Amino acid sequence: MRVAVVFSIFLTIRVANTISDKFFPPDFVFGVSTSAYQIEGAWNLSGKGESMLDYLSHTYPNSITDRSNGDIACDSYHKIDEDIEMLKHLGVNFYRFSLSWSRILPTGSIEGGVNLAGVKYYSDMLDKLKAAKIDAMVTLVHFDVPIGFIKEKMFRTEKLNQMFVDYARLAFNLFGDRVKYWLTINEPAGFSKDEMRTFYTDRGRDVYLTAHNIIKCHAAIYHLYNKEFREQQGGKLSIALNTDWYEPASDSKEDIEAAERALMFEFGWIAHPLIYGDYPEIMKKAIASSPSPLRLPVFTYEEKETIKDTVDFIALNHYSSFLTTNDPNKDVDRTFDKDIGILKTLDPSWETTILDWLHVAPSGMRKVLNWINKTYGNKPILITENGYVEGGTLKDDRRINYLQTYLSSVLDAIYIDNINVIGYSTWSLMDNWELYSGYSAKFGLYYVNFTSPNRERIAKDSVGFYKNVLESRHLVNNRNAGNHV
Ligand X SMILES: *[C@@H]1O[C@H](CO)[C@@H](O)[C@H](O)[C@H]1NC(C)=O
- CA 306 to chain CA centroid, Å, is 24
Identified binder of ligand X from the candidate list 203, 304, 417, 479, rule CB under 6 A: 417
> With binding defined as CB under 6 A, does residue 377 bind ligand X?
yes
> With binding defined as CB under 6 A, does residue 292 bind ligand X?
no
Which residue is catalytic, options 187, 260, 303, 390? Answer: 187
> With binding defined as CB under 6 A, does residue 452 bind ligand X?
yes
Measure the CA–CA gap between 335 and 24, rounded to whole angstroms.
43
187 is catalytic: yes
Closer Cβ to ligand X, 376 or 443, answer by number: 376
Closer Cβ to ligand X, 378 or 477, answer by number: 378
Identified binder of ligand X from the candidate list 123, 370, 375, 440, rule CB under 6 A: 370
111 is catalytic: no
Other beta carbons within 10 angstroms of residue 229's beta carbon come to 20
Supply the minimum distance, in Å, between the C-beta of residue 236 and ligand X. 20
Question: Pairing state of beta strands 135-141 and 181-186?
Answer: parallel
**Which residues make beta-bridge pairs with 181?**
137, 236
Identified binder of ligand X from the candidate list 374, 395, 415, 472, rule CB under 6 A: 374
Identified binder of ligand X from the candidate list 378, 393, 472, 477, rule CB under 6 A: 378
Single out the segment in contact with ligand X by CB under 6 A; choices: 9-17, 280-288, 336-344, 374-382: 374-382
Strands (E), 94-244: 94-98, 135-141, 181-186, 236-242
Sorted by sequence, the CB contacts under 8 Å of residue 213 that are 6+ apart come out as 155, 156, 157, 158, 160, 161
Is the peptide bond prior to 428 cis by the omega test (within 30 degrees of 0)? yes
Binding mask 59-88 for ligand X (x = CB under 6 A): ------------x-----------------
Other beta carbons within 10 angstroms of residue 246's beta carbon come to 28
Q: Is 324 within 8 Å of 342 (Cβ atoms)?
A: yes
Q: Is 366 within 8 Å of 413 (Cβ atoms)?
A: yes
Which residue is catalytic, options 40, 247, 303, 385? Answer: 385
Closer Cβ to ligand X, 201 or 452, answer by number: 452
Interacting positions 305-344 with ligand X (CB under 6 A): none
**Which residues make beta-bridge pairs with 33?**
96, 427
Closer Cβ to ligand X, 370 or 440, answer by number: 370
Active site positions, annotated: 187, 385
| Residues near ligand X (CB under 6 A) | 44, 71, 370, 373-374, 377-378, 417-418, 449, 451-452
